[in-house]
Structure 1
Amino acid sequence: MFTDFVPGVFVTHPGEPDWGIGQVQSAVGHRVTVNFENAGKRTINTGVIDLRVVTEDETTLPHH
């Protein structure tokens, strides 16, 4: 399990593929706040959910 979630890392939620790609906003222990492109800001318990880190090549978020 990847536990080094830091702000800026892109992830997906394995149980919620419709949420799209999310960007980590903050991480305190197992509580990781992620801003998903289709679901908004969500707090994920990484002790329960194994977020998948997305490689830079996979990101499809528009760059501003």
Structure 2
Amino acid sequence: MSDLNGLLEPGSLVRHPEQPDWGIGQVQSNIGSRITVNFREVGKVVIDGTKIGLVPVFDE
């Protein structure tokens, strides 16, 4: 979905564009198109990077 997903690495901070109430998440792993993110409000979620373009956070 997003070319930026391929640049995400463990420790990167992101937001889910369709779930703003999840808060900021920290990337745990990025293998193929599967991105595991630990979100503050919902915990660990596995994202399909071919369907969701995560939004990098630089100001937190």
TM-score of the superposition, structure 2-length normalised?
A: 0.90
1:42 equivalent among 36, 45, 55: 45
5+ unaligned residues in a row in structure 2: which ranges? Answer: none
1:26 equivalent among 29, 37, 54: 29
> Which residue of structure 2 lines up, in the alignment, with residue 62 of structure 1?
none
TM-score of the superposition, structure 1-length normalised?
A: 0.85
Q: Percent identity?
A: 49
Higher radius of gyration, 1 or 2: 1
Q: Does 1:54 align with 2:57?
A: yes
5+ unaligned residues in a row in structure 1: which ranges? Answer: 60-64
Question: Runs of 4 or more off by more than 3 Å in structure 1?
Answer: none
Q: Does 1:15 align with 2:18?
A: yes
How far did 1:53 drift?
0.4
How far did 1:4 drift?
1.1
Which amino acid in structure 1 is aligned with residue 54 of structure 2?
Answer: L
Which amino acid in structure 2 is aligned with residue 7 of structure 1?
Answer: P
**Across the two proteins, how many residue pairs are aligned to each other?**
57
